[in-house]
Structure 1
Amino acid sequence: MKIVPNRIIIILAVFFLSANTVFADAGPPPPSTPPPPPGLPLDGGILLLLVLSLCYGIYKINKVKNIKKASN
């Protein structure tokens, strides 16, 4: 059986190149994503805002009525 030098080189190259993948490290895992920001309550002050705007509206309406009564 005649051994061809090209086959030996190819066999050694495949052996040594495949050995690199055995010892290869995958590396550290990717960093985790930051948690999403906490949800902001949309209904926290709506009732207070509604009451204040209603009071302000009544105040402005009475002010306009008083000005009209005073000018008559």
Structure 2
Amino acid sequence: MNTVPKRVLIILVVFFLEQTNVFAAPEPPPPSTPPPPPGLPLDGALYILVMLSVCYGIYKLNQIKSIKKASN
């Protein structure tokens, strides 16, 4: 008769020790990564962009001049 209360006591102790995990706080979420920088920098090939725009402008001006000469 002595072993039954020991078993009950052991079962109760294990049951109450397992309940402490239920009340534990969850881990906080990992910190978020910073957002990427907006757009790309215009540093390396800016002179190429300027040269292409100047060439395109000259091309369009020559087209307009040739159309005016053809209509006269």
**TM-score (normalizing by structure 1):** 0.46
